[in-house]
Amino acid sequence: GAGVSQSPSNKVTEKGKDVELRCDPISGHTALYWYRQSLGQGLEFLIYFQGNSAPDKSGLPSDRFSAERTGGSVSTLTIQRTQQEDSAVYLCASSPQLRGRTDTQYFGPGTRLTVL
């Protein structure tokens, strides 16, 4: 079946512009996660959705970052007024959320964001 998909695969933007990154999770997966991977910081958690609500937003680095999920499916991560330090690969994952500690997360290929 189809895995997690993300779009665009690459995004180049100018400093100060807003960007939207999209994630299509595996059909039927109730949990959705955003992570980012940058050279200096490794893989870090950003936000977690259960259905359409976000019980854990603790990883969002600033108020320029926001995310929403609609219909329990597609999610959009928005970065306003992008800065060069936002350059990273943004990864989305989904899971069926059957049992938290044994739940497998399935990752998309990521969106590589470059802020000039």
Chain residues that interact with another protein, rule: CB under 8 A: 4, 31, 33, 35, 42-45, 48, 50, 56, 59, 91, 93, 95, 97, 100-110
CA–CA gap between residue 62 and residue 47 (Å, rounded): 12
Nearer to another protein, 14 or 100 (CB): 100
* Look-up of token digits 């100060």: 16
Q: In the bound complex, what is the minimum distance in angstroms from residue 96's beta carbon to another protein?
A: 12
Q: How far is the CB of 113 from another protein (least distance, A)?
A: 15
Closest distance of CB 47 from another protein, Å = 9
Beta bridge partners of 50: 31, 53
- By C-beta, is 73 or 95 nearer to another protein? 95
Report CA-CA distances (Å) from 17 to 60, 104, 108.
18, 35, 25
Sequence-distant (6+) residues with CB within 8 A of 75 are 22, 23, 25, 32, 34, 49, 67, 68, 69, 92
Nearer of residues 13 and 106 to another protein, judged by Cβ: 106
Quick one: 66 or 96, whose CB is closer to another protein?
A: 96
Q: For 56, left (φ over 0), alpha (ψ -120 to 50), or beta?
A: beta
Q: To the nearest whole angstrom, how small is the minimum distance from the Cβ of residue 33 to another protein?
A: 6
